[in-house]
């Protein structure tokens, strides 16, 4: 049995307000508790987009009403996530954990430069989904080309730039070099990029997400990046959709898979028991690193108890999330979450 600080996920999608057939604050936070998480940060691709104190207040009201774990929402970088006009960073600072247009990349360099200048001035984090819309998303350059651009802007402005869900070997390389130069950059990857590759893809919506699964060489570079600290954080990009939206085969299904209820067992089984990284490194990337980097509330009374020794099989039918689409269904794993404790109170057992 392992007892440690609870997990914190700086990248989830809870779909409320706007898309509550996919997930709600209640079901998303129940899934978090079931996965050993007590802090989660939902992305702003919602309706309305939290891009002002007024629209953010609608999401915050649902959080205040229904959340069973700590929820610290993102605000968007641009109004309506349209990539054109910046939000009022000063007005939103302190009400959200960071700023992201997740779901889309910020296409215009001038807009990203202005966003980073504002973020540096206000001392807030820009968390970037990197995807160049002029290239196919399957082209790895769509991701790393935008990271390369942003690292240059980050160096110019000095803001804290966090790269979401990196998936390519070039992204790892660029961020490693930038960190060595002292650039103020951090990054995350997700469990599926560390454990799967394009050869695993079946014609099934369970394998459809953005960025897509890349090559085995990319997966290996990500594991190396996690090992040497280039990758700071593991975040799930928990992205639930309805069963119908995920039932249209690989090409036709909505992009996104659920991740909160499988992250630790999958990573512990594949990476730690598989001899690739230490348990300490995995736990740091899921507990202390996200708290430190995103200045999340220090919550020593938030704990998770994990059974490391009893094998079990992942069964998506048992998920608390409304989303059940995962490439890890039926995987034999170790690392069942036995208990999740929030501020001294058991919230999942």
DSSP states of 234-250:
E---B----TTTT-SHH
Which parts of 149-168 interact with ligand DOR (CB under 6 A)?
none
Helix 169-180 to helix 140-157 angle (10° resolution) is: 10
- Take residue 247 and report the two structure tokens written for it: 């039932």
Active-site residue identified among 237, 302, 307, 329: 237
Question: x/- binding map, residues 219-248, to Zn ion, per CB under 5 A?
Answer: ------------------x-----------
Site for ligand DOR in 37-66 (CB under 6 A): 45
Closest CA to 303 of 345, 261, 272, 262: 345
Helices (H) and strands (E) in the chain, counts: 12, 13
| Interaction between residue 111 and ligand DOR (CB under 6 A) | no
Interface residue with ligand DOR among 42, 44, 73, 103 (CB under 6 A) is 103
Between vectors from CA 288 to CA 188 and to CA 258, what angle results, nearest 5°? 45
Select the residue interacting with ligand DOR from 256, 259, 265, 327 (CB under 6 A): 256
> What are phi and psi for residue 49, nearest 5 degrees?
-65, 130
3-state secondary structure string, 248-279?
Answer: CHHHHCCCCCCCCCCHHHHHHHHHHCCCCCCH
Give the closest residue to 165 by CA, choosing from 135, 181, 186. 186
Active-site residue flag, 228:
no
Q: Which residue has the closest beta carbon to Zn ion?
A: 129
Binding at 255: pick from ligand DOR, Zn ion, none (beta carbon under 5-8 Å per type)? ligand DOR
- Cα separation, 24 vs 111, in Å, equals 31
Out of 11, 34, 129, 276, name the contact with ligand DOR by CB under 6 A: 129
If one asks whether residue 210 binds ligand DOR (CB under 6 A), the answer comes out as yes
Return the number of other C-beta atoms located less than 10 Å from residue 15's C-beta.
25
Contact string (CB under 6 A) for ligand DOR, positions 233-252, x = contact = ------x-------------
Nearest residue (CB) to Zn ion, 166 versus 342: 166
Q: Token pair for residue 229?
A: 């600290």
Contact between residue 203 and residue 253 where contact means Cβ atoms under 8 Å apart: no
Applying CB under 5 A, which part among 26-34, 127-135, 213-221, 306-314 lies near Zn ion? Answer: 127-135
- Selected binder of ligand DOR within 39, 87, 128, 209 (CB under 6 A): 209
Catalytic positions, please?
A: 237
Binding site for ligand DOR (CB under 6 A): 13, 45, 102-103, 129, 209-210, 239, 255-256
Footprint of Zn ion (CB under 5 A): 43, 102, 129, 237
């Amino acid at each position: 049995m392992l007892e440690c600080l609870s997990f914190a996920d700086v990248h989830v999608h809870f779909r409320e307000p706007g898309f509550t057939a996919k997930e709600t604050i209640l079901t998303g936070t129940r899934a978090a508790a079931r996965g050993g998480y007590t802090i989660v940060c939902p992305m702003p691709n919602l309706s309305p987009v939290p891009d002002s104190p007024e629209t953010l207040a609608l999401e915050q009201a649902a959080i205040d009403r229904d959340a069973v774990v700590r929820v610290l929402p993102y605000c968007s970088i641009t109004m309506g996530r349209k990539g054109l006009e910046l939000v009022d960073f000063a007005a939103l600072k302190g009400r959200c954990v960071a700023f992201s247009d997740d779901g889309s990349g910020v296409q215009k360099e001038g807009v990203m430069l202005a966003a980073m200048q504002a973020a540096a001035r206000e001392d807030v984090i820009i968390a970037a989904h990197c995807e160049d819309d002029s290239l196919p998303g399957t082209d790895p350059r769509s991701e790393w080309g935008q990271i390369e651009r942003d690292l240059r802007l980050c160096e110019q402005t000095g803001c804290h730039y966090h790269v979401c869900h990196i998936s390519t070997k070039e992204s790892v390389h660029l961020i490693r070099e930038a960190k060595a130069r002292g650039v103020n950059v951090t990054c995350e990857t997700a469990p599926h990029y560390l454990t799967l590759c394009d050869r695993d893809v079946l014609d099934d919506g369970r394998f459809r997400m953005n960025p897509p699964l890349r090559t085995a060489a990319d997966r290996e570079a990500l594991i190396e990046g996690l090992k040497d600290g280039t990758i700071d954080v593991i975040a799930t990009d928990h992205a639930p959709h309805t069963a119908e939206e995920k039932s249209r085969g690989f090409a036709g299904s909505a992009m996104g898979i659920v991740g909160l209820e499988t992250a630790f067992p999958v990573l512990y089984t594949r990476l730690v028991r598989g001899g690739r990284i230490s348990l300490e490194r995995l736990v740091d990337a899921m507990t202390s690193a996200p708290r430190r980097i995103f200045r999340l509330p220090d919550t020593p009374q938030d704990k998770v108890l994990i059974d490391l020794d009893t094998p079990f099989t992942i069964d998506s039918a048992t998920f608390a999330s409304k989303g059940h689409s995962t490439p890890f269904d039926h995987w034999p794993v170790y690392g069942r979450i036995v208990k999740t404790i929030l501020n001294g109170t058991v919230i999942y057992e």
